[in-house]
Amino acid sequence: MTTLAESDLLHMLMDNVPDAIYFKDLQSHFIRINRSVALRFGLSDPAEAIGKTDFDFFSEPHARQAYLDEQDVIRTGRPLIAREEAEYWPDGRVTWASTTKLPLRDRDGAIIGTFGISRDITHRKQTESALRQAKDSAEASQQRTRLIVDSAYDAYVAMDADGVIIDWNHQAELTFGWPREMAVDRLLHELLIPPPYRAAHRAGVELFLKTGEGPLLNRRLEVPALHRDGSEFPVEITISPIRYGAEWIFSAFLHDITERKQAEEEIRKARDAAESASQAKSEFLANMSHEIRTPMNAIIGMTELLLDTPLNPEQRDYLETVKKSSDALLSVINDILDFSKIEAGKLELEYSPFDLRDSLGDMLNTLALRAHQKGLELACHIAPEVPETVIGDPLRLRQILLNLVGNAIKFTERGEVVVDVAFSALAATRSGARDTNALPFGARLTEENADVCILHFTVRDTGIGIPIEKQAMIFEAFAQVDGSTTRRYGGTGLGLAISSRLVRRMEGRIWVESVLGKGSTFHFTSRFARHDAPLKRPPPQEPGRLRGLSVLVVDDNATNRFILAETLTQWQMRPSTVENAAAALQALESAHQAGEPFTLVLLDAHMPEVDGFTLAERIREHPDLTGATVMMLSSACQSIDAARCQELALAAYLTKPIKQTELYRAILAALGSSDTATKSPPIPPPQRVSRMLRVLLAEDNLVNQKLAVRLLEKRGHSIVVASNGREAVEAIERQTFDLVLMDVQMPEMDGLEATAAIRARERGSGRHLPIFAMTAYAMKGDRERCLDAGMDGYISKPVQPRELWEAIDRLIPPDDTAEPEETSAINGVLDREEIQDRVGGDMVLLRELIDVFLTDCPRLWQNLRDALAQGDAHLLSRAAHTLKGSVGNFGAHAAREAAQQLELLAGKGDLMPAIEAARKLETELERLKPVLRELKQSTIQEPQMNTDAQG
């Protein structure tokens, strides 16, 4: 092995060590550098550096610092060990070195310079710096997250898979009362979850860890939580599981919702209170309805009864005023109740099929008198494509139209009021697209009603009009155009408010168009379901007997001419229209000359210049025109008209507004008898004999009892009174009845319970005793409740006699074949027992009475006819009253009733129906007279009448 010299070893070290080694003199000139330094300085030979300084290779800051350091070593003799320093190069690079500098001594130990060794630590420095930066930013981010979590308004709690709390923010401290340091590391369920829920919580966590399913995770939940003080409170919580390395942690945000819960509770209470207030309101309405209607019932009913007694004209006048005023009051009360009912959301619409044309015709008939008294034309046009029968609420539709037409008449002094119904749209749902939304209120889609139609109604008048700025407001409650106390027109201002709400309920719209001084047109639309009922009118395509017949329509009113022409054309007749008598005669003559005379002439009775009657006379007198069938169309209640028609022997007499079905029937009837042009107006069949019913009346109110008893007795029924439901049930056990009239509200047992008891007894027996509710309740659901309880019908108080009779007749149809049982009637015309009672068995008196009656009757009848002919309602009522008294003496119930009906109608001024009633009375009188003669004869043969004699 070769031994190397010391200097060789040093050289080897100098040339190969990667660290920089250098020797400098006292002024820091390099005296020797190793290869590594030369390499860093970019020198090919280390010798090139000799005599140079750091200033030749580094930029100034580093060179100077190195110089100062070396001078320090020289001065102090102390080494500089492992100093980490930055080296700045002229090209801008910065490198790092760990430098050790030592004093360079001669052999004597004197310092002659320095020497040093530097290791490049740039790489280490860079790594360190990157690490430091990363650490800083991680710390900053953590700090930010902490700040966010700590300043969060929600409590934040994190838990590991073992259920140990690992994080807890500031809000959690506030929410649960535990400081962070006390909460962290504790079991979450022990700290936060009330004992009853702990097991479920643990089970939930375990399920998740096992299956990854957590039905309560990642959702907002409301759960009870535990406070440090032991109290429980509701929190809203969202828990999310987070995968953290191999572990799961669960982080949860919680929010104390005590306040929200309290607010919700308050809202609930407020809603309950509002609901019970509305309940109270509707109960109040029901009670008020009851309380107001009950006395009204007595007032109206007693007034009617009183009007039936002998009165002097002054008394009658006073009472009629009472009657009119109470009727008016009742209608105001009904309006207010109706309005409140709608406002309280208590209005329920009916849903039943009805004939639109008939329903409208009936409604207009009730207003015709008012219109014609003011000299207004009242007409109705229903477009041919409007279905015959629709499904909806006929009563509410009638209520809307009554109000609009009533207003139109009220606010119109001259001209016409025209109702028009047009087909607006059809929501066909029969096939394919079944749009149940298109069905009207509450309707269920079935095969029969699968079509829905929208009808457009208009009510047009030529009245005072409504200023444009008031047109919107009149639909508000209590709003009137003229709100002053001195206003000319009466009213409550509720009619349109009610109508508009009803229209809304029928899913329609209501609006008005009006020109001041010219008139108003009210529009509304409404939804109905179509109902395919068999047609009562001739279908347009029916060839029929009317096809091709020529008709002349004579009317001065253009609307009427238009409507009549359209209707007749629908029936395939050939109408021509003219507007006055002269034109009519001309048309008739030229038709005759052309060899095509008119088959039928429809005349308006009231025309300016030459009226319908005069024209009819001229036609009759005209030698060429005698073959024509003439029908008169006139306004209601012109009894003179009726009499004149009879005189002129016209084929028919119809009152306007004309119902299509009536016109159709009248034309068929008239043409059927056209060969006898002198035939008198059709006379109704004689009145049928009403059955005498055994009626049980259950009613607790004494006045109502008395009233109902009188009303029923007047009809010849026999009545048993029960003061409550229990008595009624007992009465039925003892006795047989034909009918029960049942008050609903009664002490002890109410009408619904009593009905249920009666029905329960009947079960299985095959019997069914008709029961009618009579109640002042007119609230939503009352009718249904009565029907559900097993009642057959419903009459609301105040009981209107006619309504009662109609209801009874509907339920127990008058029987014209059955012999009246258990009554001693002669041919069903009079009551022998009653006569005997009256005369106290005195046959002579009876014969005298009969004689007086038979002599007097023609005169009394004549008086009545005269009164009718003069249209004098007052005289007519008096004459009927006298006749009623006369026939009443003989127990002639049917005749008495006919007279009474006539008297009643005349008393109301209802002259048109009075004509019918007069015919009925005439028929009864004609039946009575021979019976009386027969009776007189029998008293001669049988001086003492037998008490139990049967007719």
Write down the least CB distance from residue 596 to ligand ADP, Å. Answer: 44
User: Minimum distance from CB of 526 to ligand ADP (Å)?
Assistant: 18
Q: Which of 36, 289, 297, 403 binds ligand ADP (CB under 6 A)?
A: 403
**644 and 617 Cβ atoms separated by less than 8 Å:** no
Which of residues 481, 642, 707, 729 is near ligand ADP by CB under 6 A? Answer: 481
Q: Kindly state the smallest distance separating residue 550's Cβ from ligand ADP, in Å.
A: 38
Q: What are phi and psi of 119, to 5 degrees?
A: -110, 135
Query: Which of these segments, 87-95, 392-400, 472-480, 671-679, binds ligand ADP (CB under 6 A)?
Result: 472-480
CB of 465 to ligand ADP, least distance (A): 6
Going 632 to 638 to 641 to 642, the CA torsion angle's sign is: positive
**Of 381 and 531, which CB lies nearer to ligand ADP in the complex structure?**
381
Which among 563, 659, 606 has a CA at the least distance from the CA of 372? 606
Pick the closer one to ligand ADP by CB: 407 or 639: 407
Owner of token pair 């790092």: 96
Instruction: For the CB of residue 362, give the shortest distance to ligand ADP in the complex, in Å.
Output: 21
Half-sphere exposure of 294 (CA within 13 A, CB side): 18
Closest to ligand ADP by CB, 403 vs 723, is: 403
Among 158, 408, 786, 904, binds ligand ADP (CB under 6 A): 408
- Helix, strand, coil percent content, the chain, rounded in steps of 5: 50, 20, 30
278 binds ligand ADP (CB under 6 A): no
As to burial, measured by CB atoms within 10 angstroms (0-12 exposed, 13-18 middle, 19+ buried), residue 863 is: middle
Q: Which is nearer to ligand ADP, 461 or 611 (CB)?
A: 461
Considering the complex, state which of residue 465 and residue 751 has its C-beta at the smaller distance from ligand ADP.
465
Number of residues that bind ligand ADP (CB under 6 A): 21
Per-residue mark of binding to ligand ADP, 563-602 (x: CB under 6 A) = ----------------------------------------
Q: Is 443 helix (H, G, I), strand (E, B) or coil?
A: coil
Contacts of residue 428, defined as CB under 8 A and 6 or more positions apart, other chains included, come to 451, 452
Alpha helix segments (H runs only) across 698-800: 702-714, 725-734, 751-762, 782-788
| Three-state secondary structure string covering 500-518 | HHHHHHCCCCEEEEEECCC
Residue 917 and residue 897 in contact, taking contact as beta carbons nearer than 8 Å: no
List the one residue out of 261, 268, 271 whose CA is nearest residue 233.
261
Interaction between residue 740 and ligand ADP (CB under 6 A)? no
In the complex with ligand ADP, which residue's Cβ is closer, 463 or 612? 463
Angstrom distance (rounded) from CA 930 to CA 491: 53
- By beta carbon distance, the residue nearest ligand ADP is 491
Instruction: Name the one range near ligand ADP by CB under 6 A: 153-161, 339-347, 458-466, 557-565.
Output: 458-466
Q: At closest approach, how far in Å is the CB of 487 from ligand ADP?
A: 8
Least spacing, CB of residue 368 vs ligand ADP, in Å: 17
Please report the DSSP string for 297-349 in residue order. HHHHHHHHHHHTS---HHHHHHHHHHHHHHHHHHHHHHHHHHHHHHHTT----
Residue whose pair of structure tokens reads 């697209």 in the numeric block: 433
Q: Does 496 bind ligand ADP (CB under 6 A)?
A: yes
Q: Does 510 bind ligand ADP (CB under 6 A)?
A: no
Q: Which residue, 225 or 474, is less far from ligand ADP as judged by CB? A: 474
Q: Which stretch binds ligand ADP (CB under 6 A): 112-120, 476-484, 523-531, 691-699?
A: 476-484
Residue 223 bridge partners (DSSP): 235
Compare residues 297 and 407 and give the one whose CB is closer to ligand ADP. Answer: 407
Closer CB to ligand ADP, residue 503 or residue 850? Answer: 503
Q: How far is the CB of 459 from ligand ADP (least distance, A)?
A: 7
Tokens of 249: 């942690």
Q: Judged by CB under 6 A, does residue 461 bind ligand ADP?
A: yes
Q: How far is the CB of 411 from ligand ADP (least distance, A)?
A: 3
- Identity of the residue, 107 or 488, whose beta carbon is nearer to ligand ADP in the bound complex: 488
Strand partners, 823: none
Residue 415 in the binding site for ligand ADP (CB under 6 A): no
The residue from 443, 474, 564, 826 that contacts ligand ADP (CB under 6 A) is 474
Hunting for tokens 């009204």 — which residue is that?
296
Q: Does 850 bind ligand ADP (CB under 6 A)?
A: no
416 binding ligand ADP? (CB under 6 A) = no
Which amino acid makes up residue 387? P
State how far the Cα of 337 lies from the Cα of 350, in Å rounded to an integer: 18
The answer to whether the beta carbons of residues 105 and 78 sit under 8 Å apart is: no
Axis crossing angle, helix 911-941 with helix 843-870, rounded to the nearest 10: 160
Of 287-295, 372-380, 475-483, 911-919, the window that binds ligand ADP (rule: CB under 6 A) is: 475-483
d(Cα 236, Cα 233) in Å, to the nearest integer?
A: 10
Q: Which one of residues 387, 491, 751, 801 is an interface residue with ligand ADP (CB under 6 A)?
A: 491
CB of 334 to ligand ADP, least distance (A): 12
Q: Is 820 exposed, middle or buried (0-12, 13-18, 19+ CB in 10 A)?
A: middle
Pairing of strands 600-604, 550-554: parallel
CB atoms closer than 10 angstroms to residue 522? 26
Q: Does 463 bind ligand ADP (CB under 6 A)?
A: yes
Residue 824 binds ligand ADP, judged by CB under 6 A: no
Q: Give SS3 for 91.
A: coil
CB of 335 to ligand ADP, least distance (A): 8
Tell me if 399 contacts ligand ADP by CB under 6 A. no
Question: Which one among 177, 493, 686, 888 touches ligand ADP, defined by CB under 6 A?
Answer: 493
Residue 495 interacts with ligand ADP (CB under 6 A): yes or no: yes
The DSSP string of 595-643 is: T---SEEEEES--SSS-HHHHHHHHHHSTTTTTSEEEEEE-TT-HHHHH
Contact with ligand ADP (CB under 6 A) among 464, 584, 719, 921 = 464
Among the listed ranges 462-470, 658-666, 898-906, 926-934, the one in contact with ligand ADP (CB under 6 A) is 462-470
CB of 478 to ligand ADP, least distance (A): 8
Q: How far apart are CA 870 and CA 879, in angstroms?
A: 13
Helix axes 495-505, 394-410, angle to 10 degrees: 150
Q: How far is the CB of 606 from ligand ADP (least distance, A)?
A: 23
Q: How far is the CB of 461 from ligand ADP (least distance, A)?
A: 5
Token pair for 245: 């390395």
Minimum distance, C-beta of residue 470 to ligand ADP, in the bound complex (Å): 7
For position 492 contacting ligand ADP by CB under 6 A, the verdict is: yes
Placement of tokens 């006929």 in the chain: 394
Of 117, 466, 625, 696, the one binding ligand ADP by CB under 6 A? 466
Whether 604 contacts 621, CB under 8 Å: no
* Per CB under 6 A, 376 contacts ligand ADP: no
Q: Phi/psi of residue 521, each to 5°?
A: -125, 115
Contact residue for ligand ADP among 399, 429, 462, 480 (CB under 6 A): 480
CA 193 to chain centre: 49
Q: Does 411 bind ligand ADP (CB under 6 A)?
A: yes
462 part of the interface to ligand ADP, by CB under 6 A: no
Task: Compare residues 470 and 761 and give the one whose CB is closer to ligand ADP.
Answer: 470
Between residues 414 and 767, which has the closer beta carbon with respect to ligand ADP?
Answer: 414
* CA-based nearest residue to 399, from 474, 505, 511: 505
Contacts to ligand ADP by CB under 6 A: 403, 407-408, 411, 461, 463-464, 466, 474, 479-482, 491-497, 520
